[in-house]
Amino acid sequence: MSTVSFRNWFSAGLLLAVLTAACLFRLWQGEKQVRLHTEHFLHAIEQKAWANAGAFMDEQYRDQWGQDRTLVLARLREVLPYMRNLQIRSKELAIVVRGNDGTWRGRITLEAEPDEISALIKERVNALDESPFELQWRKVSGSPWDWKLIRVTNAELELPDDG
């Protein structure tokens, strides 16, 4: 009886280990990590959690508008508090992962309580329906979950040079 019990427990433990490994393998795939990191980054911005948003960005971040990580976070802190009940909606078009580099490509729209500033920002961003954003991520260590945002681009979005 103890042999059967041991064999059953061993088989159950082995099955649990295999299922856990399969789940972790799926979770840690590059495409899944790029998708999750993008969702969590946008959510951090939506919640105005600047430290969390900054944690997703690489120290060497540089976007097409010449902004570094520090400047992007400063501008977000200056502008987004005026957008009450901000909701960032994204529609993923594609995720491409090659080695340690991944790109999320999709459309982003904003919703917020109406006021002059939020109306201006929404008008500018939501009009980019035909021009998707590209968020470029890089895996920065051997850990499968350690991805950082290195660049954001949008062919049609224009930002002022002087801030």
Reported pTM: 0.82
Cβ atoms of 41 and 72 within 8 Å: the answer is no
The domains located in the chain, with CATH, are: 30-153 (3.10.450.50)
- Range of weakest confidence among 7-16, 31-40, 43-52: 7-16
Closest by Cα among 106, 111, 131 to 121:
111
Cα separation values, 152 from 7, 31, 116, 147, 156, Å: 54, 17, 26, 14, 12
pLDDT higher than threshold 60 for residue 22: no
Whether 97 shows a pLDDT value over 80: the answer reads yes
Q: What is the C-alpha to C-alpha distance for residues 105 and 91, in angstroms, rounded to an integer?
A: 9
**Of 6-10, 70-74, 86-90, 100-104, which gets the smallest average pLDDT?**
6-10
CB 105 within 8 A of CB 95: yes
126 with 105: CB under 8 angstroms? no
Q: In degrees rounded to 5, what are phi and psi of residue 136?
A: -100, 125
Distances in Å between the Cα of 84 and the Cα atoms of 74, 80, 111, 124 are 18, 8, 9, 17
Q: What angle do CA 118, 122, 128 make, to 5 degrees?
A: 160
Q: Is the pLDDT of residue 145 over 80?
A: yes
Question: Does position 119 have pLDDT exceeding 60, yes or no?
Answer: yes
